Structure 1
């Protein structure tokens, strides 16, 4: 079990590294919306499992999950800026969790959306990259605002 947890955590680190490098994430989409699942680790206050929206760091990994209940979904790329500013911030407001690099057994790392943003900012900085943000002055502004939210 610990080995599985380490593998999933490493997949998350790879997810952050790859999306920061390519500035693209991938989701599965059909006519009614995006692929979602329910958390096996995080619950809402009422005891119900938290809802997850799933994202992958590459199209092939996403495509490998187009089976069973997701067999009619198609891989849909999302730019990193849109993912951070619209998806992650929106999911945080809605109480959703980010599922990253799920495998065909729907096992993957479940992360708080603000955690994903902060980890992405850190990785971008480590590689000397910066994102052109639309809703924030720059990455420092975004990071500072998230840290203020997390303090409360």
Structure 2
């Protein structure tokens, strides 16, 4: 990915970055998170736990600062993400923070993400 694409995508509103996330994750069949002995987490405005996920390594690496200093970008195979991660997160009441950029992120329900991924994967 070149710097121009990185910069322009990073500045998009959360909803558009979510659409980009769906397309890139379906295309590359992997999701990226931040890991340092445990996965990076955040909390929403009511204190519910969120795990941030990214469409590409470069976007994850950019967020490895401040509270996530020392975290490394780590990939998760799409099948593992769908079959294991999402089921476990739903069971534990953990929400998804999709492609955060600063404080701006798309917080989506697991069922919505699954539906959107399935719809996108039908195009392949």
- Correspondent of 1:108 among 78, 82, 105: 105
**Alignment gaps of 5+ in structure 2:** 1-11
Query: TM-score, normalised to structure 1's length?
Result: 0.71
- Correspondent of 2:53 among 52, 55, 73: 55
**Alignment gaps of 5+ in structure 1:** 1-5, 41-47, 129-152
RMSD, matched Cα: 1.2
Higher relative contact order (CA 8 A, sep 6+): 2
Query: Which residue pairs with 1:148 in the alignment?
Result: none
**Counterparts of 1:36 and 1:66 in 2: how far apart (Å)?**
12
- Correspondent of 1:76 among 74, 77, 102: 74
Query: Which residue pairs with 1:145 in the alignment?
Result: none
| Mapped contact 1:27–1:77 kept (Cα < 8 A) | yes
| Mapped contact 1:89–1:114 kept (Cα < 8 A) | no
Per-residue deviation, 1:106: 3.4
**Counterparts of 1:68 and 1:99 in 2: how far apart (Å)?**
17
Query: TM-score, normalised to structure 2's length?
Result: 0.86
**Counterparts of 2:98 and 2:107 in 1: how far apart (Å)?**
6
Instruction: Confirm or deny that 1:28 pairs with 2:34.
Output: yes
Secondary structure of residue in 2 paired with 1:49: coil
Per-residue deviation, 1:39: 1.4
Query: Which residue pairs with 2:120 in the alignment?
Result: 123
Per-residue deviation, 1:110: 0.5
